[in-house]
Structure 1
């Protein structure tokens, strides 16, 4: 009889029930791919039903032997009036359809783009729009409902997403607002880790990364920006979603990690 190697590390996500909010493109889609490769059951969500359908189809085509492990649902988290109910409804649907509680939630949803404009022209209503609702207030509603729909204990986790602008604001008319909410997620993560313990809560802070967020820009502008900004990193390139996904995997798999903020930015915060 031949001996078998142990698989202490490979199987940490095997059979886990993973929800990726914003998992239809970019970093979230890469996290969904990686979770499937590690043997998890994966649900992706987005406010755009066409993107949900497309992402589910792409994941099932890429992993045909695991296509029954992939689900996707539309969920709009960008409107203040419906945010609470929609977050609860998403969690409830995942639990009902999978027949078990959720083990890990990864929140990468971007809210349809970046805040634009100048601070001098903004009022509270302009600031508290779709991007801020999706990126900042949706995680709070997730924490509100997590104890009811997620598995208890340190094997379960929530991983949020901020950005390098939390430590290194960019010049421009929106630097104050963007950096305030990005940095606020660091404090939120620590507070949620306290409130939801022993469930774990962590934060990933990406730097420049090649995602569809930049697709609305003209191709020449987009490629020029990637070359210019990528050249300022220590790695001399834009980040790739499949690289950044590794940080989210670490947050899910390390049962001793909570209240932490992981930077994955090519060293741009150092230069």
Structure 2
């Protein structure tokens, strides 16, 4: 099953020039939430650069939607610096890249578990350092965490939950350290993305309905909904140092 992402018809809830001609760089912008955010930012007038770890997918997304594109393995600092080195200025930096790292602490491979932090915390550190003064002072940085930050489980996600919670704390600290650059975190719940389908594998047809039934709204979120929340964090100049939960109320139960 392939999730189809379409650009919304209007952005009447955004200030008319909030993203017009702004440079938006989205790590993880070639699929799922990142791709939807890229499409919507482009529709709102931004100049969008997507960065993914798969060259073919990045090029295809760019050609289809009119983005610029780069490739980088975010766990490799040199690749992050190389992907950003020729961009003169970035108004909004969005860091959504990351895989689903699941392993039990007592018997999981430590090198593998470290990836949860490498893909999130350290990739963000390297991206911010790479851009440095090229980050617009009236722009923003957006991280991603997830419902695990508030609601961990016993299914081998303790390290991933820790990394997710770390991103929220990191954003709050950076909102002060990098001021007046705004720094926020998007915390999505169960969103039906290609990554979720990949994680569930052959079990997805049975697991997805159960996941949907467990939410207050009795459905999963869409990439479009989470992408719109990402655009909101970029476009609203009064959002700073906060975590925006878009989980259909899952964090309440």
TM-score (norm 2): 0.89
Structure 1 position 115, deviation (Å): 1.6
Counterpart for residue 89 of structure 1: 82
Unaligned runs of 5+ in 1: 1-5, 60-66, 96-100
Q: Alignment length, in residue pairs?
A: 242
Counterpart for residue 180 of structure 2: 198
Does 2:23 correspond to 1:38? Answer: no
CA 126–75 in structure 1, closer or farther in 2 if over 3 Å, else same: closer
CA 223–143 in structure 1, closer or farther in 2 if over 3 Å, else same: same
TM-score (norm 1): 0.83
Counterpart for residue 160 of structure 1: 143
More helix by share: 1
Does 2:45 correspond to 1:52? Answer: no
In 2, Cα distance between equivalents of 1:218 and 1:209: 13
Report the aligned-residue RMSD.
2.0
Structure 1 position 217, deviation (Å): 5.4
Pairing 1:229-248 to 2, within 5 Å after superposition: 229-248=211-230
Instruction: Specify the structure having the higher radius of gyration (Cα).
Output: 1
Which ranges of 4 or more aligned residues in structure 1 deviate by more than 4 Å? Answer: 217-220
In 2, Cα distance between equivalents of 1:133 and 1:159: 17
Counterpart for residue 96 of structure 2: 108
Unaligned runs of 5+ in 2: 1-11
In 2, Cα distance between equivalents of 1:8 and 1:125: 43
In 1, Cα distance between equivalents of 2:13 and 2:252: 37
In 2, Cα distance between equivalents of 1:255 and 1:218: 37
Provide the secondary structure at the position in 2 that maps to 1:120: coil
